[in-house]
Amino acid sequence: MQSPIQVYRSAIGNQPICTDPWFAEVLSRSRSGDEEAQREISGRCLTRVLDTVERRFPNRDEQELLDIIQDANAALLRAIESFPGSSADQFLTHLDHELGQELDTLAVDG
């Protein structure tokens, strides 16, 4: 039987990484209010978020990790909305910064 984290990892699948030509087009749609575009960007980043959470909180139980992932996903959405640039690499750096801030808060609170 799979753990909840394994089920989540299976559900998010193996999304391709963000690449500049794809990212610029989808980011433009997202900034125009296209919610599907925002979902596309976040979908491609969910594995990165999960990996970051697991690395940062290696000794947390499964339920705690799922709660932390939920908070980290909110940080992902904020990162999409607040990103001022257009490059995929710059966005991933921005995302890492936003995740770091969110996870720092959770580490202090938890």
The pLDDT tens digits for 61-92 are: 889 999 999 999 999 999 999 999 999 999 99
The class of domain 18-109 in CATH terms is mainly alpha
Tell me how far the alpha carbon of residue 93 is from its chain's centroid.
12
All residues at 6 or more sequence positions from 82 whose CB lies less than 8 Å from its CB, including other chains: 94, 98
Kindly report, residue by residue over 17-40, the tens digit of the pLDDT. Answer: 888 889 999 999 999 999 999 999
Specify the pTM: 0.87
Instruction: Note the pLDDT of residue 19.
Output: 85
